[in-house]
Amino acid sequence: MKRKLLVLMLCLAMAVSMLAGCGSGDSASGDEVTYRTLYSGEIQTLNYLTTANTNDFTVSANVIDTLVEYNSYGEIQPSLAETWETSEDGTVWTFHLREGVKWYDNTGAEVADLTANDFVSAMQYVLTSEYESATAQNLFGVIQNAQEYYNGTMAADDPETEEVEGVPIDFSEVGVKALDEYTLEYTLEAPVPYFLSALTYICYMPAYGPLLEEMGASFGAATDASTIYYCGAYILEEFSPQERRVYVKNENNWDADNVFITRIEQTYNAEASTIAPTMVERGEVDYASLSADIVDGWLNDEERSQMVSLSRSTVDYSYFFCFNFDPNFDEEYEPENWRLAVNNENFRQAMMASIDRLRLLDITSPENAELLVQNTITPGTFTVLEGTDYTEFGDLAEISARDSFDEERALEYRDLAREELTEAGAAFPIKVYMVANPNETDRDSQYVVLEQQVEALLGSDFVDIIVEAGPSQNFLSEVRRTGNYAFMVCNWGADYADPETWTDPFDRENNYNFMDLAIEQGGASADVISEYYSLVDAAKAEKVDLNARYEAFAAAEAFLIEHALVIPFSISGSDYQITKLNVFEGQYAPFGVSTLRYKGQHLEDDPITMEEFEANYEQWLEEAANAQ
């Protein structure tokens, strides 16, 4: 029965149907349709060519179109490219662009035609090290000479650098070219099975070349809406940091007939998660999430319960516990002692076996915690090859079927770790510094429960888990990316339809858990981590035989988990919310920016009820079956 429920919930992840005739959300009548929300986490930049922050993506997803896009059933459709073809060996892709697409400024004034050169200019910007694009590595090993050009720009900036090899090359040697105004060509290093799906990610988005040249590093500065140009379904008319964002429909967009919400008003409020439910009830905004501490009150209230429905459970994000191998936190939390502990595999195994993940998920998703818990980094149903789910390949099959929580084994690992760490000179208890992101609903509550259960099982004389609240602004840059934590929940969103995307957060020179630095520093885990990277490199090298490729990536991921270098946690939850948007509308793909787009969605007159949610799901099932 649980497996049937799991299939049902994961089907919801694929559910994004284009349901017509939805309340006030039809702009065909000429009426303005305004969608109003609150937000508490401000974006860091409008520069979609450099950011890797999902919060920033919510802007670019709606104001910049991509070469291809996805329909409501996860199928690739033409967008800025009307047609395309590939060479027989799969290394040259040619895209024929839609003519008549324009760039606009934030006032809606037309600036210029969008041409193939805008994709070339954007990629050169991404591959210029000066701009520090966080997604440049997505092009390495994919676009011919992309990494060589990037390394060359690094060497040009600092001729004495020892971090890169090679010499500067001309950008004309990189595998992206405008054959004419409306013909774009990509040349790949080797066949890339997922290339078409990758084109929906931000590093492949276009940007107006002359503006990039004029603004350089100031392109997309998060100061106001004038720092980028727009070619998507919406134009960001107003952006006042920590005040509000206003999107207006781009009436001249090539697909404007499928944009039903004409205006989006997002208002900043540091207490958004607390006050939004009441504001929805008063008709002042159209969306609110319900935190675990208030959801029961709403569900048990006869009138309020009619305003509550579920969000869509998705497999585009995976959540996992990261051990930080390069601690950079205050001395009071004993970073060097933590360095000894984190490099001890038995210590990591003891932590993994002592965490009851279901108990943590019960805090945020009591109704479906068992459906959300994830035993692998790659979510189940993310990608399937010839009828076999990726998580059933190789050793991942056994890992997928088991629960890492095991009290008996946790104590065995603890005793082994205590003996080894004592010999290494570690002090007990090991301080485990955990920093909670205030913008993640109930994350602090999960950490407190984790503290209680792990200390109770392993003993407070063995570990001392310290939970603190992190900054509400710039959490990633001030905490995770600087290594200002010992242990925390991290997440990763897929960028394309291939298991390789789930290796990215642990890659060399990553800023998730800094595993590569354990090798550089000669930590006790250096050999294990080196072996993991060798397995990943071997998997990446397999470009043609997809079965062998999946087997190789499964071997690498199983190795990562079996050595407790990270601890899988969950997929995104299907949480309770109040919304006037039908969760089954709009674009869908389990990666990229598709699900962040408002294009294709209607605005209802009243919040969706649970009964309507279920009816919409049934309608989607019928439509999905007919679409096959």
Can you give the CATH number for the domain in which 162 is found?
3.90.76.10
Together in a domain, 329 and 211: no
158-178 burial, b at 16+ Cβ within 10 Å, e below that, comes to eeeeeebeeeeeebeebbbbb
Domain boundary among 222, 256, 282: 222
Phi, psi of 189 (to 5 degrees): -65, -35
Together in a domain, 150 and 119: yes
* Residue 165: predicted pLDDT: 58
Together in a domain, 583 and 563: no
Together in a domain, 361 and 348: yes
Together in a domain, 308 and 322: no
Going by DSSP bridges, is the β-strand pair 263-268/34-39 parallel, antiparallel, or unpaired?
parallel
Does some domain include residue 228? no
Together in a domain, 393 and 329: yes
Together in a domain, 301 and 191: no
Together in a domain, 282 and 381: no
Q: Which residues pair with 95 in a beta bridge?
A: 84, 184
Q: By residue range, what is the domain housing residue 292? A: 2-17+269-312+577-627
Phi, psi of 237 (to 5 degrees): -70, -40
Contact between residue 566 and residue 557 where contact means Cβ atoms under 8 Å apart: no
Does some domain include residue 387? yes
- CA dist 226 and 319 (Å) reads 35
pLDDT digits (tens, 9 = 90+) for 1-24: 333 333 334 344 333 333 333 344
Does some domain include residue 259? no
Contact between residue 324 and residue 514 where contact means Cβ atoms under 8 Å apart: yes
Does some domain include residue 233? no
* Residue 25: predicted pLDDT: 46
Together in a domain, 192 and 321: no
Does some domain include residue 604? yes
Going by DSSP bridges, is the β-strand pair 68-70/287-289 parallel, antiparallel, or unpaired?
unpaired
Together in a domain, 595 and 549: no
| Mean pLDDT, residues 467-471 taken together | 95
Instruction: Give kind and range of the element (H or E) at residue 35.
Output: strand 34-39
Q: What tokens appear for 47 in the block?
A: 């520069």
| Mean pLDDT, residues 41-68 taken together | 95
| Mean pLDDT, residues 472-482 taken together | 90
pLDDT digits (tens, 9 = 90+) for 600-612: 999 999 999 999 9
Does some domain include residue 262? no
Half-sphere exposure of 350 (CA within 13 A, CB side): 26
Q: Please calculate the CA angle 367-371-375 and round it to the nearest 5 degrees.
A: 140
Q: What secondary structure letter does DSSP report for 143?
A: B
Together in a domain, 551 and 592: no
Cis ω before 438 (30° cut-off from 0): no
| Mean pLDDT, residues 410-421 taken together | 98
Does some domain include residue 264? no
* Residue 628: predicted pLDDT: 54
* Residue type at position 350: A
Percent of the chain with pLDDT over 90: 75
- CA dist 308 and 296 (Å) reads 11
Domain boundary among 552, 571, 590: 571
| Greatest C-alpha distance within the chain | 76
Q: What tokens appear for 251 in the block?
A: 């009436």
CB neighbours of residue 237 within 10 Å: 16
Together in a domain, 439 and 514: yes
Domain boundary among 222, 256, 280: 222
Domain count, the chain: 3
Q: Please calculate the CA angle 515-521-527 and round it to the nearest 5 degrees.
A: 60
- CA dist 223 and 626 (Å) reads 47
- CA dist 106 and 108 (Å) reads 5
pLDDT digits (tens, 9 = 90+) for 523-552: 899 999 999 999 999 999 998 889 999 999
Does some domain include residue 548? yes
Q: CATH number of the domain that 537 lies in? A: 3.10.105.10
Q: Which residues pair with 247 in a beta bridge?
A: 236, 264
